[in-house]
Structure 1
Amino acid sequence: MAYEVKASSVEWNPGPERLRELTEKMPNSSVTEFANVVVKARVDSRSAKSTFIAEDSTNTTKQTITRAEYERVAAVQEDYLARQDVVVVDGYIGSDPEFRTRARLVIEASNANIAGMQKQLYYPVGEDYDPATWDPHTTVVYTPNLPMEGYPNDRLIAVDLNSNITRVFNSDYFGESKKGGLRMWNNIVYKRGGLSLHAGCKVIPVGGENKTVLIVGLSGTGKTTTTFTTQLGSKPVQDDFIALMPQGRVYTTENGCFAKTFGLDPEFEPTIYHATTKPDAYLENVSVDENGKVDFFDTSYTKNGRTTWPFKYVDPWPADQVEPAEFLLILNRNENIVPGVARLDRAQAAAYFMLGETTGTSAGGKDEEGKFLRVPGTNPFFPRDMADMGNRMLELLDGHEMKVFVLNTGRVGGGEGDDRSKKVKIPHSSAIVQAIVEDTIEWEQDPDFGYEVASSLPGVDDMEILQPRRLYERQDRLDEYHAMVERMKAERREYLASFRGLDEAILKSIR
């Protein structure tokens, strides 16, 4: 049965102009030098520790709540909403008429920026839209100003996969709306036989053929940057989530982009910069002075500044003209011995996909920033048992060959403060992507990890980035290098073994 909206007043699917008008009335909003609007939210990142799934709607055993508890908090929220003015935004997750899902956001009108940002990400409803008959597959009910005592920071994201309703309490961070719908969509895609990937997608023309490249990575690893950086006239298709189905078919999710703004520089990320500075872009937690001057490098509040804008601003590749995926890039923002690029075999591909290794960024909050993380599939929004994700990836690779690589978008040889280390820069990563699709890399087997590393790569002449062992050897740090090799292999095997039911081939690929 469809969710029934009961509130003091309801504005149904207002247009962008009305949502902008409501946003400008918010006391924590202002207009920038670019004539777009910025909001300083109380919450500056996702609230993973406050996210719980109704236990009878999932096969995972982590961070669940009972059905009775879910019903209790739902009743509290409904009682609160009955006294509030709300905005309802309806649209689609996905563009393909045969695959898209109907979605709805219900939110307090006092936080209209979230509605405005979500409207930019949903694909629009058609001319025959009628709110009375719109029956959404996913619904996010969002009360930013209602605390829920007893949960971390009095904040709760309660997910029911049976009804596909997510209830958000006491967070005014837009990401909870975006990922609330996509988390439920993850489950829908899995039940359809595919796998949702926390991934960008781009099409690169090579020798008269259009190559489809998928880029998976945790927020802050360079996923959006890698997607929008141009090689050979490439065009982005999607920047954050896609569905990978059997035979390599790819489906998009969002009609807009939700990008990080920290360090945004028109020289290195011109596409994202110029879209972010358009008048109808929304900014969240981006530094702005009293005169509207924007500073993308100021971190006094957070590094996790964000923006949304329509995807049309980046001249995307048509979502209905995407060939089956041929390349899968797994991003790892590392700081030690992971090479600039490594080529994986089938079982290794599923293993490194499940390892989801990276250094955490501000997108995950202070609990993750700067820490080494392993997140299966680089997808913190998969609402099922994690072994399901690895096994499904292996099935999809069995049914459709993809060339899979790990790319380090961080450093080799140490952290940012270590003068012995080297940064893997955006031009390095761009050259690596181009060389992958043009098949111009010469490979050799890495003696420590069993994957292949580059012995020659056009556009990257620093062999220490391609083979970090050389850097450690030159610096008389081979003992440190060997210790890290043994530790990482042992930790990886232990981590993968923790997923009960994970295919044995995945476990044995770490050797």
Structure 2
Amino acid sequence: MQAQTQVKGLKELGIEPSEVFHNLSYDEIFEHEKNNGETVLSSNGTMMVDTGIFTGRSPKDKYFVDEPSSNKNIWWSHINFKASEAVFEELYQKCVNYLSGKKLYVFDGYAGANPETRIGLRVVSEKAWQHHFCTNMFLRPSKEELANLLPEFTIINACGVKNEKYKEHGLNSEVFVIFNLAKKLCIIGGTEYGGEMKKGIFSVMNYKLPLQGIVSMHCSANIGNKDGDTALFFGLSGTGKTTLSTDPNRKLIGDDEHGWDDNGIFNIEGGCYAKVINLDPKTEPEIFEAIKRDALLENVVFDEKTKVVDYTSAAKTENTRVSYPIYHIKNIQVPSKGGHPKVIIFLTYDAFGVLPPVSRLSIEQAMYHFLSGYTAKVAGTERGVKEPTATFSACFGAAFMTLHPTVYAQLLGEKMRKHNVRAYMMNTGLVGGAYGTGKRMNLPSTRKIIDEIMNGNIDKAEFIKHPIFQVEYPKTVEGVDSSILDPREAWTDKAAYDESSKKLAGMFIENFKKYVEGSKDFDFTAFGPQI
């Protein structure tokens, strides 16, 4: 593609590049990455990029402009920080001045597989590999669609800009990711990490969709090859959303971000973003085979001579990743939509090793655990996290929730009741002991449990009620070692299990208090742990 000196809409943003490349093909992106010296080609033809010192998101550097059109809706919290309109304008000018006169890349596409509710989006960047990332992750328009596409939200990625005045501005660091919902803009500076763009658009959709009565969800989704039964998998990064939704017996709808409207489930994205640390072709063949030309590996370690990737190495980060267009997975649903789900599974990485590998939940228990969002932050996903740390993340994705968690919970609960959805919680974390002594739940057993959930056989088993957490877990699951299904029996030291169980229950109870203070509308405490 020949360089242009302008793309419609850039001048209105105040950006006047020396040359600009608009929605490049993969082959063109390949040449730009190579000629710019931004990437290294792996032994199997996949491009590899080093994202610099930031190999994960910077959640403490994410802000929303405090402005009249949105400030009454936004969940102001330790998740969504405030920035003034004046600070935004100053940094916005710094970004556009920095980008003007440079060679730039512009990606125009969509978020949302439903034409009725999707948004047109634009990402302006100076790195060809960031253009590559957006081409992988967002919905790619046809030539006809591109000709008529009007961006409804724009990300300006000026990753080379640092905010030296952050203390004066009352911000956290030189890094900034600031959303101005009134102006439909986001500016990024100080970090190259691609996930900021992906989760930035997700944050926007998490604002827009619920206000239209549509549930936006941090989950993966797939659909049965034969029965057409849709299933959702909620969970934070590292809990298994991508791995477990990529199933040879079920068609993948999407691996991370979805909406649920009156017609069913739809993917928000056009690609997948999988962790590749310790990736094993025997246990995750679909993801391994998706890593080929047009995919983009991030922060992996490789042999300098042969360019063979060492997926076992965390020398740069635990958060090694690959992005690829969804069609790199052979068994996908086209278009990326499904009917109303029959099953919802909450995935948690239990760093305490207390929760059963699988539990059956009532609707009320599902609401309790959805609002609690217990899991562990997995090493490398965020800056400063070096080992799994127990945490609570509302909606299994609080970091991306722009509105108050109860907004999403209310919409989800209504949908689950209306469509008679079965709910389960699965511990993909530790069994037989806490962090340091317990072992991570093995993937084949987890997959077998999911199979038994999908075919309904699990509900034929005898269930036991946990004395503290109140959830029910099966005594047996076909093809799974029964000794791990009872979490207490899996521990050698029963007294230590009891102590850890009460400790974790206390954390649940303390965390949930914020949902019942001043209102009883979301008081699901009777369906949570009891000490």
- Give the TM-score normalised by structure 1: 0.92
Structure 1 residue 287 corresponds to structure 2 residue 301? yes
Asked if the contact 1:138/1:185 (under 8 Å) is kept, the reply is no
Q: In the alignment, which residue of structure 1 is the partner of 2:252?
A: 236
Q: In the alignment, which residue of structure 2 is the partner of 1:107?
A: 125
Q: Which moved more, 1:234-243 or 1:364-373?
A: 364-373
Asked if the contact 1:359/1:369 (under 8 Å) is kept, the reply is no
SS of the equivalent of 1:213 reads: strand
Correspondence for 2:33 among 15, 23, 26 = 23
Structure 1 residue 300 corresponds to structure 2 residue 315? yes
SS of the equivalent of 1:34 reads: coil
Asked if the contact 2:218/2:234 (under 8 Å) is kept, the reply is yes
Shift, 1:163, TM fit? 3.0
SS of the equivalent of 2:347 reads: strand
**What are the residue-to-residue correspondences of 1:178-257 with 2, within 5 Å?**
178-205=198-225, 209-230=227-248, 233-246=249-262, 249-257=264-272
Structure 1 residue 329 corresponds to structure 2 residue 345? yes
Q: In the alignment, which residue of structure 1 is the partner of 2:464?
A: 444
Structure 1 residue 352 corresponds to structure 2 residue 372? no
Q: In the alignment, which residue of structure 1 is the partner of 2:157?
A: 142
**What are the residue-to-residue correspondences of 1:71-470 with 2, within 5 Å?**
71-108=89-126, 111-129=127-145, 134-149=149-164, 150=166, 151-205=171-225, 209-230=227-248, 233-246=249-262, 249-276=264-291, 278-291=292-305, 292-315=307-330, 316-319=332-335, 322-335=338-351, 336-361=353-378, 362-367=380-385, 369-379=387-397, 380-415=399-434, 417-418=436-437, 421-441=438-458, 442=461, 443-463=463-483, 465-470=484-489
Query: Over aligned residue pairs, what C-alpha RMSD do you find?
Result: 2.1
Shift, 1:141, TM fit? 0.9
Correspondence for 1:491 among 482, 492, 507 = 507
SS of the equivalent of 2:524 reads: helix
Correspondence for 1:477 among 494, 510, 516 = 494
Q: 1:399 to 1:31 in 2, by over 3 A?
A: same
Gaps of at least 5 residues in structure 2 are 1-7
Shift, 1:28, TM fit? 4.5
Q: 1:439 to 1:82 in 2, by over 3 A?
A: same
Asked if the contact 2:224/2:251 (under 8 Å) is kept, the reply is yes
In 2, Cα distance between equivalents of 1:496 and 1:84: 50
Asked if the contact 1:229/1:269 (under 8 Å) is kept, the reply is no
Correspondence for 1:47 among 38, 45, 58 = 58
**Number of paired residues?**
496
Shift, 1:415, TM fit? 4.1
1:150-179 deviation per Cα after TM superposition (whole angstroms, max 9, x unaligned): 144410000122233211101111111111
Shift, 1:142, TM fit? 0.4
1:290-329 deviation per Cα after TM superposition (whole angstroms, max 9, x unaligned): 2212111111111111111121121202236622111111
1:441-464 deviation per Cα after TM superposition (whole angstroms, max 9, x unaligned): 21232222211111111111233x
Asked if the contact 1:28/1:41 (under 8 Å) is kept, the reply is no
Letter in 2 for 1:71: E
Q: 1:476 to 1:134 in 2, by over 3 A?
A: closer
Shift, 1:128, TM fit? 2.5
Q: 1:503 to 1:24 in 2, by over 3 A?
A: farther
SS of the equivalent of 1:77 reads: helix
SS of the equivalent of 2:451 reads: helix
1:91-117 deviation per Cα after TM superposition (whole angstroms, max 9, x unaligned): 111223223221111111xx1101111
Shift, 1:246, TM fit? 4.4
SS of the equivalent of 1:237 reads: strand
Asked if the contact 2:374/2:390 (under 8 Å) is kept, the reply is yes
Q: Percent of pairs identical after alignment? A: 24
In 2, Cα distance between equivalents of 1:369 and 1:28: 30
Gaps of at least 5 residues in structure 1 are none
SS of the equivalent of 2:412 reads: helix
Q: Which moved more, 1:153-162 or 1:359-368?
A: 359-368
In 2, Cα distance between equivalents of 1:182 and 1:272: 23
- Give the TM-score normalised by structure 2: 0.88
SS of the equivalent of 1:343 reads: strand
Asked if the contact 1:148/1:156 (under 8 Å) is kept, the reply is yes
SS of the equivalent of 2:57 reads: coil
Q: 1:356 to 1:26 in 2, by over 3 A?
A: farther
Give 4+ residue runs of structure 1 displaced > 4 Å after superposition: none
